[in-house]
Structure 1
Amino acid sequence: MQAYPVAARAVPAEEEIRFWMRAPAVTINIAAPLSEALALMYEHDVRRLPVTIDTGELRGVITQGDIRGADVLRAAGFDPFDVANGLRKVKVYEVMSTDPLVVTPETGLREAAMLMIENKIGGLPVVNEERTVIGIITESDLFEALVQQLDNAVQRST
């Protein structure tokens, strides 16, 4: 399991993940079929889902990229019924990424951004001490925080 990132410096409260994360995160059970994961992604307009066990503890992450093969099969002319049937047979745990990087609500925005940049990922599950998923922070959330901070800087300088 990944250790929690340790803040290199104290961050102002408004720069903590807790104020920018999406909560609650849309999650999926580790034993769910891929068809359910794909349906949740489309329904909630998200590209990644933290994967949990029944207690809510994080076990992995599944992304649209992990499931993208289904769209390729459809485009290649495979029968949509066969593709859908296949997605119902394959379980999330068979294709998810295990042991994902995580952040806590107290993690700073800069640290989260650096983790995403260095690891070329688009989002991080936010967990508590028990590794229960309590939210998610994505590139979009970080851009929103950046825009707000830039706007605030402009207002202060005028």
Structure 2
Amino acid sequence: MRIDKIMSKRVHTCQPDDSLERAAQLMWDFDCGAVAVCTGNGASQTVGIVTDRDIAMSALLKGRPLRDLYVKDTMSRDVLTCRPDDSLAEAEQRMRSGQVRRLPVVNDQGVVIGMISLADLAQEAMRECGEQSKEITENEIGDTLAAICAPRTQESPIADA
């Protein structure tokens, strides 16, 4: 199965110069845990991703209000992405290796057109539970979650700020 069959197509984005308050408000308003960070030059190139955890840790470590902190200073710049025609297994492997729960789905121009999450994969595994042929299993989801949650060996760039 292709990613575009189960990805979230309503993706909310922010720009690098937006405040963390705006990014957090988007997450609250649209009940999501991450927003893609895109350039505002008309091309909407994906240049980063910011998560609710990134925002919380940045606020804690910098000790300033979210309105005084910027997405560009907190976002992950090395964004792992996938394509709409990638398989679920490819997305799951990227999540494992990158220790991330979400991947922006981008088109050939790098424009974000969706988001695939570990939750999307888990829901698909549940849908396939009674089927003979499975794209993804509950055990694979568990293994991926374990890989994502394994201790990282490098320090967060937020802690250095």
Q: Bin the TM-score by the shorter chain.
A: 0.7 to 0.9
TM-score (norm 1): 0.76
Q: Describe the shift of the 1:42–1:109 C-alpha distance in structure 2 as closer, same or farther (beyond 3 A).
A: same
Provide the C-alpha distance between the structure 1 equivalents of 2:37 and 2:11, rounded to a whole number of angstroms: 11
Post-superposition CA distance 1:49-69 (Å, at most 9, x none):
110011211000001111113
User: Match of 1:120, as an amino acid?
Assistant: Q
TM-score (norm 2): 0.74
SS at match of 1:69: helix
Aligned twin of 1:57: 45
What residue ranges of structure 1 are gaps of 5+ in the alignment? 1-14
SS at match of 1:125: strand
User: Match of 1:59, as an amino acid?
Assistant: V
Q: CA deviation at 1:27?
A: 1.1
RMSD (Å) for aligned C-alpha atoms: 1.9
Q: Which runs of 4+ in 1 moved over 6 A?
A: none
Q: CA deviation at 1:70?
A: 6.4
Post-superposition CA distance 1:95-136 (Å, at most 9, x none):
100020100000000110111112210000000010000000
- Structure with larger RCO (C-alpha < 8 A, sep 6+): 1
Provide the C-alpha distance between the structure 1 equivalents of 2:116 and 2:66, rounded to a whole number of angstroms: 27
Higher Rg of the two aligned structures? 1
What residue ranges of structure 2 are gaps of 5+ in the alignment? 134-161
Provide the C-alpha distance between the structure 1 equivalents of 2:84 and 2:58, rounded to a whole number of angstroms: 35
Provide the C-alpha distance between the structure 1 equivalents of 2:106 and 2:55, rounded to a whole number of angstroms: 24
Q: Percent sequence identity over matched residues?
A: 28
Q: Describe the shift of the 1:29–1:127 C-alpha distance in structure 2 as closer, same or farther (beyond 3 A).
A: same
